[in-house]
Amino acid sequence: MSSESHLKDKVILVVDDEPDVLETVEEELDMCLMHKATDFDTAQQYLLSYTYDIVILDIMGVNGFELLKTSVSRGFPTVMLTAHALSPESLKKSIKLGAVSFLPKEKMSELRSFLEDVVLGGGKSVWTKLFDKLEGYFEKRFGPDWKERDKFFQEFEEQLKKDIEDNA
């Protein structure tokens, strides 16, 4: 990784009802310009009033899926960051609603790297990289056959592979 982050001077909105999470994200992303919100209404106002390079949303406590809909409709690359809602169902819903990535709060120390993937990918989905990086983590959390148990994930991975081949 180069010494200067690809995130330098990016404008980011981070939404979480836990102030310590907001502080941690701010420390991890100190090269960015950041707006922070601890509730749905404040976050919704920010989303409707400003333009963001990246939006980071918690799921629980701030109605993150509703905020995701607004963020995606405004064209902002949106990353879901969660602890309590860490499940295959939340991951699937995040994908379906247009999130470009999904990160467990336990992996916040790697947030910068994941967001750099988003920026380098032009704000497009970085699901393939995410699944590569977190495969072992998801298998421990969800079970070794978590993708096989849900046809959605099988089809989603096939589509990702096809997209990569088509762009090669």
Q: What is the 3-state secondary structure (H, E, C) of the chain?
A: CCCCCCCCCCEEEEECCCHHHHHHHHHHCCCCEEEEECCHHHHHHHHHHCCCCEEEECCCCCCHHHHHHHHHHCCCCEEEEECCCCCHHHHHHHHHHCCCEEEEHHHHHHHHHHHHHHHHCCCCCCHHHHHHHHHHHHHHHHCCCCCCCCHHHHHHHHHHHHHHHHHC
Domains of the chain by start residue, with CATH: 11-167 (3.40.50.2300)
pLDDT per position as a tens digit, 63-111:
999 999 999 999 999 999 988 778 999 999 999 999 999 999 998 888 9
pTM for this model (two decimals): 0.91
Q: Give pLDDT, residue 73.
A: 97
pLDDT band at 2 (very low <50, low <70, confident <90, very high): very low
